Amino acid sequence: MKMLKTSHAAKWILRNTRVSSESLTQSIKLHLITEACPLWMSTPEQCPFPDPYWAFYWPGGQALTKFILENPETVKNYSVLDWGCGCGASSVASAISGAKAILANDIDKNALLATLLNYRLNRISLSNTEFSSRNFVDDAGVEELRKFFKDPEKSLILLGDMFYDSDFASTAFKWLKKLKHLTGARVLVGDPDRHPLAEQQYLDRYETKFTKR
């Protein structure tokens, strides 16, 4: 993957994004590529990052983050894995809501940088957040995460818009089942009805509406 040096990447993010709170969670500000940014209409070649998923706040992530802010007891004193954190909004909301420990995880290092910048933007302490670009989707990853999740009663996995690719979603489901079984963690999924398999597996459902301004 093409990477800029961290300091250059941070400057690039700050220069090429806008601070936006136009979302389902208006109390959280995020550095995003918005319609006001030249890159909104750019070709992949014009962007130094191949897939800047972290520069967008995905609908599933918005719904999930809104749920956390409206139900802070869901994360308070929990160890929280924000799997595929992207811009980091769910991690920010977890920190605001009193999570004990947060693991912001994304295989794209620029997503971790964007998450860090979004913590700063919202004046959130970094003291109980770890950042990891490790791909945990294998047996060794499950073992590593078991060390993070110490108390099954207080373990939570967050997934915002992670079922965007159906092959990956099938792999992710198998892995999540194993992780859930071995850690006892609760899993909260923000997903705009993307994956038919998901529908069969949900135990409970919370819906929220989007309106286009």
Ligand X SMILES: C[S@@+](CC[C@H](N)C(=O)[O-])C[C@H]1O[C@@H](n2cnc3c(N)ncnc32)[C@H](O)[C@@H]1O
**Residues found near ligand X in the complex (CB under 6 A):** 53-54, 57-58, 60-61, 83-87, 105-108, 111, 135, 137, 160-162, 164
Nearer to ligand X, 78 or 131 (CB): 131
Which residue's CB atom is positioned nearest to ligand X? 61
Q: Which of 71, 77, 68, 98 is nearest to 151 (CA)?
A: 77
From the CB of 161, what's the least distance to ligand X, in Å? 4
Nearer to ligand X, 101 or 159 (CB): 159
DSSP string, 118-168: HHHHTT---TTEEEE-----SHHHHHHHHHH---GGGEEEEEES--SSHHH
Identify whether the C-beta of residue 213 lies closer than 8 Å to the C-beta of residue 22. Answer: yes
Give me the residues paired with residue 82 across strands: 104, 158
From the CB of 171, what's the least distance to ligand X, in Å? 9
From the CB of 106, what's the least distance to ligand X, in Å? 4
Nearer to ligand X, 128 or 132 (CB): 132
Nearer to ligand X, 54 or 78 (CB): 54
Identify whether the C-beta of residue 175 lies closer than 8 Å to the C-beta of residue 142. Answer: yes
From the CB of 126, what's the least distance to ligand X, in Å? 19
